[in-house]
Amino acid sequence: MEIYLVRHTEPAIEKGICYGQADIDIKPEEFRMSVSGIIDQLPDDIDIIYSSPLKRCRHLADHIQSLQYPLLQVRLEQRLKELHFGDWELIAWNEINQADLQPWMEDFVNKRTPNGESNMDLHVRALSFLDDLPESANKIAVFTHAGVIRSILTAVNGTALAEAFGLYSVGYGEVIVVRYEE
């Protein structure tokens, strides 16, 4: 099957702020400028649309569904949420306690943020989502976050999760197509 991984457009949050599962809006102007380009990259024959329930993804998925796929429904999927940064959510990166931040930076794959998740936790969620995709689907649109997209790309390409940031740059509003066979 073909999976069209769509990252949300730019969020309405100041640069340098740690956010993952904080439910923040998108910048309206960037959203309007990105929608037609995203639609141009999606095929007309999408079978299923999934979205993270966070509004920066859900809003984009709902908007594109209404314009391009009126007969489909957007299926909200908890496993498509971004990494949960726990106590760090909505705090400036440079204000996070270095005693907590440094160990996480050295092993972000396995180390959980305080009251949050590790990248391995996110990876397990993302793989669980992939494993549950219906085999009958040919083309699926997935509206999600950079962390989930990187995780799926490591799984599909057989690369190490620790190398995901260096290997996979995922811009706002970017569409990445992968072939997935269980």
Angle between helices 55-68 and 28-41 (to 10 degrees): 50
Alpha-carbon distance of 88 to 154, in angstroms, equals 25
pLDDT of 181: 81
Q: What percent of the chain has pLDDT over 90?
A: 97
Mean pLDDT over 134-144 rounds to: 96
pLDDT of 114: 95
pLDDT of 10: 96
Mean pLDDT over 58-74 rounds to: 97
CATH of 2-179 given 3.40.50.720, 3.40.50.1240, 3.30.930.10, 3.40.190.10: 3.40.50.1240
- H or E element at residue 177: strand 175-179
Alpha-carbon distance of 79 to 175, in angstroms, equals 19
User: Rounded to two decimals, what is the model's pTM?
Assistant: 0.95
